Structure 1
Amino acid sequence: MADRYNADVVIIGSGIAALVVAERLSRKKNVIIITKSKKEDNNSNRAQGGVAAAISKSDHWLNHFEDTMIAGNYHNDEDAVQLLVEKGAHYLNKMIEDGMEFDKDANGNLLLGQEGAHGRRRILHAGGDATGQALVRFMLNRLQNQANVKLIEDVLAVDFLIQNNCCYGVKVKTKAGAVQPLYAADTILAAGGCGGLFEFTSNDPTVTGDGIAMAYRAGANLVDLEFVQFHPTLLYVNGGVKGLVSEAVRGEGAVLITQDGRRLMQGIHPQEDLAPRDIVAREIHRAVLNGEQIFLDISMIKNFAKRFPTITEMCRQSGIDLNAGKIPVVPGAHFQMGGVQVNLKGQTSIDHLYAIGEVACTGVHGANRLASNSLLEGIVFANELADYLLQQKHETEIPILEPVDRKLDILSLPTKEEIQAVMMKYVGIIRNGKGLQHAKSWFEQYLLPDIGAFLPEHLTNEQIEIYNMVQAGWLITTSALEREESRGGHFRIDFPEEKAEWTKKKIIRNCLVTAYKI
C-alpha cells in the first residue's frame, strides 16, 4: 500500500453488504467504513421479513430462480439471478456455522416463512420480525474482533476522487465541517437506495439517494433507475407512515380488506394477497384514490405478538389496538431495483470503484424485487466482491489531486418535503408522461448547469443531502420518461402492460444516464 493511502479499502455505508465485505477483507487488508449517521441507521437494520434461500431439502435453487424471474417480470439478468440463488444457501449456511442464529422449532429445525410470489416456504428469520437487526448485530460483533477495521460514524461522503476514469478514494465532510480526501486503493459504495425521496417510505431517514448522485457526478454508468418498488403495507396512522408491516404477515395468512370487510385482492391475481408487490401496491393505491381505507386483517394469526414482536410494539406505540384484528396500511417506497451498473464482481464502469447492496444494480431483481431477496443480495455479492479483491494486488501510486479553488454557482434548493411530495405525486406508484415531464422540469430549475460546479466545501451537510435528492430525483424521473412501457415497479398508465410479450422479448436494459445534459 502506498504511503499516501489512508486505507487499502474504504467502504461507504454500514448495511449488511458493507459489513459482510468489510469482515472478509479485513483479514488481509486495512479497511475504513464511513457512515453519515450512526452505524445502525440503515435499511438492513430495519428489515423484518427475513432472508430468502433454497435451504430446505424440499426446495431447490431452480425453484427460487423461477420465482425471482417471474417477480422481476423477466427483466432480470439470468446469470446474476443464478449466482444469487445458487450460492445464497451456501453463504447462509456459512453464517450459521459462524454463529448466526435464525429462528428454529422445538426440534432444532429452521422455521421457514412464506412471503409473496414465493412458490414455497424459504424465508429464514431471526427474532420473529427482527431479522435485519439480528444480522447487522451479528456482523458488527464479528468486526469488533478485527484489528484492521475502523468504523467512523457521522462522516458524510460527498464525492469520489476520480482521475482518468480511476477512483482513488472519496472526499468526505467531517462532523466538524471540514472537507478532506480519504485515499484508498479500492473504494466500495454501499450507501443504500432512494426511499427517502418519497413522502411515504419504509426506509431509514438517512437513505436519500446519495450514492446514486455521487456515482452520477463521478461519471459511472447507471441503469434501471425507473424501477422503484413500493411496499404494499406500511402502517398508516393519522395521515402519516409509522413503519413497515412485513410481507411475512400475509405469508402467515393475513389478508387485505376494505373498511366494509371486502377482500381487496380476490379476483385480482391468482396468488391474491401474496401476489408480487407491485400488483398489490397498485390495488391498494387505486382503492385509496377512490376514498377507501385499507386494512390488514390479522385476526386469523395465532400468537401474533410472539411471531411479530417488532410490528406489535410499533402498533402499540401508534395507538393501534391489535385485539381488533386490523392494521391500517398504505403503500410506500421500499426498494430501488436499479442503481450503479455493476458486473457479478461488483465492478462499476470506473476502475477501482465498486458497488454492492441496494445502491448497485446487478440485475438480480429485474423490474420488481422478490420478497426477502435484498438481504440475500447484500450477503452474496459482498462475498463475491471480497473474493475478487482478495486476489488483487495494487502497486500504482495515487496521483496528486489538486484541490478545487473556485466559487460555487448560486444554488437555490427546495425543501426535503417539497421533493418528497413531487416524487410521490408524479414519480410514484402510477405514472404518466405528462406528470413525469412536469417533475423533470421542476427538478431542473434546481440543478447546476455543470456537474463539476457542485462544490461541497461551500455547502452545509443538509444542503449536500438535499442537492443529492434533487439530482437522484431528476435521474429517476428522466429514466421513467425514457421507458415507454409498464413493467414491474414502473407503471405508466399511458403505456399498458404487455405481459404476453415478457417471456418473448428482452427489452434492452436502460443504461443511463451519464450522457444526459440539462
Structure 2
Amino acid sequence: MISRRADVIVIGSGLAGLMAAEILSLQKNVILITKSNLEQSNSRLAQGGIAAAISDADDWRDHFFDTVMAGGFHNKQQITEKLVKKGPELIEKLLQLGVTFDRQPNGSWALGKEGAHRRRRILHAGGDATGKELIDCLLSRVKEHVTIFEHEMALDFLIDEGQCVGVTTKNENGNLVTYYADFTILASGGAGQLYSVTSNGKNATGDGLAMAYRAGARLADMEFIQFHPTMAVKDKRAIGLVSEAVRGEGARLITSQGHFIMEGIHDDEDLGPRDVVARAIHQALLHDEKVYLSIAEISNFKERFPSITQLCKEAQIDTSAGKIPVAPGAHFFMGGVDTNEVGETTVPRLYAVGEVARTGVHGANRLASNSLLEAVVFANEVAQHILSQPFSFEAYYQPSIHPLESKVTLPQATEIQEIMSKYVGITRDHDGLMKAKRWFESFEPMITNNHLLHVSVEQKTICNLLTVGYLVTLSALLRTESRGGHYRMDYPQANDDWLGLQTYCLYPSDPNVQEKVENIKTTV
C-alpha cells in the first residue's frame, strides 16, 4: 500500500476545495485528491452566478431575508448572517485572485436577478459560464502550489482514537493509497446521481457523504433536496441545465396549450422559489402536458446565454423558435455533513465545505446563486481556522480491511435511481418512503461496512449511493411536514416561522435517531 503525508488533504476539485487549497497552500503543504480530472466538477457547470449584496441599492439584510424566506425559515440564523455579510468581502478576494466578472458598458457590474431574489445581486462571468471562469482562475493558481492526484477515488477516512488522521484512496491503476495529514478537508460535492434526471455531473455520487457517515460524523437535513425547475430535455432525456437567470431576464414557463404555469401559483410567478416552481412543472408533466421555457421576450438571448445556446444547438433544439422544452432535475443537497461556522465536523480534524457540508445557510431550500457564495465564504473560514491550529499531530494508523461479502449482489445505479425518483423525489408520502426504506435495507451490510477497500471503484460507488439513498429516505420519513425541498403529499405545508423546527441528524452511534427509526419500522 502506497503511503503519503501532508499538512492538509483536500478531497475534491470544485470551487470550495480549490479555494481552501489556494489559501492554505501559501503557508502549508497541501495535497488535493480528485475522483476524475481537475476540470470536472459541479462548480464548473454553474451558469447563473454568485450572489452578493454589492450594489448601492442592496443590503446584507435584504440578502439575508431572501435567503431565509427561500429556505423555509429552517436556516441557521447566525451562520446565514455570516454568509451574506461576508459576501462582498469574498467577491473582492476573488477579484484579487484574477476573476473577471461581467460589467455593463458604463463599467458598472452587470447584476442579474434570479428566483426569490428581490434585488439584482447576481454577479456572472462569461455570460452564463460563471462556474467555468471561477474554476479556471483558481486552477491556474492552485497548480503552482498544490500536489494534485487526479483519477483517484477516496474510499474511507482513517480514524484513530476518534480523530481523522487521513484517508484511504484507490488510484487509476487500482492501487490502494493511504494519506496522512494533520487536517482533512472534505469538499466532494453532492449526490445528484441518486436520481434519473439531474443537473449534476456523473461523479456526484455522494461519496463524501457516505464516507463521513461510516466514519461516525453527524449528518443533518438529508431530506432537503432541491430540484432545479428547468433542465433542458430532448426525447424525455435531460441534456443540461437552463439557468434560472433566463427567467430572471424575462423567460416564462408555458405549456403546449399556451397556459402560463406559474400564474396563480406564487406571487412571484416564474421567479418563485425553486421548490414551488419545480412542483408546478412536475404536476403538469404528470398530467401529460409538455412544458417549455418561452424565451421569445429575450431579444439578445444568444449573446446573454451563449453556453445554453450551444447546449441547445448540440441537442438540435432550435432556440430561434422561442422556446426550450424543460423538466425538473435533482440539483442540490441542502443537507450533508453537519458543520459549525468554521467547517468543523463532529469528527475532530475532519472539515467539510461546499455542497457536501450542511452549514445551515440554505435551510430547507437553497436560494439561487448562494451555492458558489457558500463555497468561497466557508472555504475561507475553514482555511483561516486551520491556519490558526497547531500542526503537531502524528499518526500512521493502518485500517483493518473488510472483504465484500460474496453472497451480496449489488444493484445497478439505474435501479437506485428508479427507487429514489419514484418514492423519494419531488413529492413523497409514507407508503412510498417505506417501500424505498425496505428496499435499501436489503443491502444493509453494504451501507454500514467501513473500510470496504478491496472492491472496484464502481462497486464502492454503488455502496455510497446505497448509503446516501438510505439516509435520505430515513430523513424524509422522520420529517412529517412539508417544508422547502421536502414535500410530503400526506402532510401539510409548514408554517413560515422558526418555531418548533427540528433538525433530524443521522449518525451510526446516535441512540435517539435509532429509536425513532425503530418506531418507523413498526408503523407499516
Q: TM-score, normalised by structure 2?
A: 0.95
* 1:103 alignment counterpart: 102
Alignment partners' CA distance in 2, 1:453 and 1:144? 32
* 1:78 alignment counterpart: 77
| Counterpart contact for 1:161–1:167, Cα < 8 Å | yes
* 1:215 alignment counterpart: 212
Q: How does 1:473-492 map to 2 (within 5 A)?
A: 473-492=469-488
Instruction: Report Cα offsets for 1:182-214 as digits up to 9, x if no partner.
Output: 111100000001101100000011001111110
Match for residue 512 of structure 1 among 484, 506, 519: 506
Alignment partners' CA distance in 1, 2:463 and 2:143? 35
Match for residue 375 of structure 2 among 375, 378, 381: 378
Q: How does 1:74-153 map to 2 (within 5 A)?
A: 74-146=73-145, 149-153=146-150
Letter in 1 for 2:134: L
Structure 2 residue 393 is matched with structure 1 residue 393: no
Alignment partners' CA distance in 2, 1:278 and 1:197? 18
Alignment partners' CA distance in 1, 2:394 and 2:479? 42
Q: CA deviation at 1:503?
A: 1.6
| Counterpart contact for 2:68–2:363, Cα < 8 Å | yes
| Counterpart contact for 1:113–1:121, Cα < 8 Å | yes
Alignment partners' CA distance in 2, 1:504 and 1:136? 36
SS in 1 for 2:95: helix
Letter in 1 for 2:489: I
| Counterpart contact for 1:88–1:380, Cα < 8 Å | yes
Letter in 1 for 2:62: N
Q: CA deviation at 1:113?
A: 0.1
| Counterpart contact for 1:337–1:358, Cα < 8 Å | yes
Structure 2 residue 444 is matched with structure 1 residue 447: yes
Q: CA deviation at 1:333?
A: 0.2
* 2:291 alignment counterpart: 294
The runs of 5 or more residues in structure 2 that have no matched partner are: 519-524
Structure 2 residue 241 is matched with structure 1 residue 247: no
Letter in 2 for 1:395: S
Q: CA deviation at 1:231?
A: 0.3
Letter in 1 for 2:499: K
Structure 2 residue 53 is matched with structure 1 residue 59: no
SS in 2 for 1:112: coil
SS in 2 for 1:151: strand
* 1:200 alignment counterpart: 197
Letter in 1 for 2:12: G
* 2:522 alignment counterpart: none
| Counterpart contact for 1:408–1:454, Cα < 8 Å | no
| Counterpart contact for 2:230–2:244, Cα < 8 Å | yes
Structure 2 residue 270 is matched with structure 1 residue 284: no
| Counterpart contact for 2:337–2:357, Cα < 8 Å | yes
CA, structure 1 residues 354+406, in 2 after alignment: closer, same or farther (shift >3 Å)?
A: same
SS in 1 for 2:459: helix
Alignment partners' CA distance in 2, 1:254 and 1:160? 46
SS in 1 for 2:436: helix
| Counterpart contact for 2:255–2:292, Cα < 8 Å | yes
Alignment partners' CA distance in 1, 2:344 and 2:498? 30
Letter in 1 for 2:452: L
SS in 1 for 2:159: strand
SS in 2 for 1:383: helix
CA, structure 1 residues 127+346, in 2 after alignment: closer, same or farther (shift >3 Å)?
A: same
* 2:335 alignment counterpart: 338
Alignment partners' CA distance in 1, 2:15 and 2:135? 6
SS in 2 for 1:378: helix
Alignment partners' CA distance in 2, 1:60 and 1:29? 36
Alignment partners' CA distance in 2, 1:288 and 1:467? 32
| Counterpart contact for 1:408–1:453, Cα < 8 Å | no
Q: CA deviation at 1:396?
A: 2.6
Letter in 1 for 2:504: N
SS in 2 for 1:302: coil
Alignment partners' CA distance in 2, 1:407 and 1:20? 36
Match for residue 324 of structure 2 among 323, 327, 330: 327
SS in 1 for 2:198: coil
SS in 1 for 2:144: coil
* 2:183 alignment counterpart: 186
* 1:493 alignment counterpart: 489
Q: CA deviation at 1:506?
A: 3.9
Letter in 2 for 1:20: M
CA, structure 1 residues 356+450, in 2 after alignment: closer, same or farther (shift >3 Å)?
A: closer
Match for residue 350 of structure 1 among 347, 360, 364: 347
Letter in 2 for 1:32: I
Q: CA deviation at 1:94?
A: 1.9
Match for residue 419 of structure 1 among 405, 408, 416: 416
Q: CA deviation at 1:5?
A: 6.0
* 1:461 alignment counterpart: 457
* 1:46 alignment counterpart: 45
CA, structure 1 residues 228+200, in 2 after alignment: closer, same or farther (shift >3 Å)?
A: same
Match for residue 428 of structure 1 among 422, 425, 428: 425
Alignment partners' CA distance in 1, 2:451 and 2:445? 7
Alignment partners' CA distance in 1, 2:12 and 2:436? 29
Q: CA deviation at 1:180?
A: 2.4
Q: Between Structure 1 and Structure 2, how many residues are aligned?
A: 510
Letter in 2 for 1:139: L
| Counterpart contact for 2:48–2:244, Cα < 8 Å | yes
SS in 1 for 2:445: coil
Alignment partners' CA distance in 1, 2:372 and 2:498? 30
* 2:34 alignment counterpart: 35
Alignment partners' CA distance in 2, 1:392 and 1:81? 24
Identity across aligned pairs (percent)? 51
Q: TM-score, normalised by structure 1?
A: 0.96
CA, structure 1 residues 152+277, in 2 after alignment: closer, same or farther (shift >3 Å)?
A: same
Q: Which runs of 4+ in 1 moved over 2 A?
A: 399-411, 449-454, 513-518
Alignment partners' CA distance in 1, 2:451 and 2:270? 46
The runs of 5 or more residues in structure 1 that have no matched partner are: none
Letter in 2 for 1:431: R
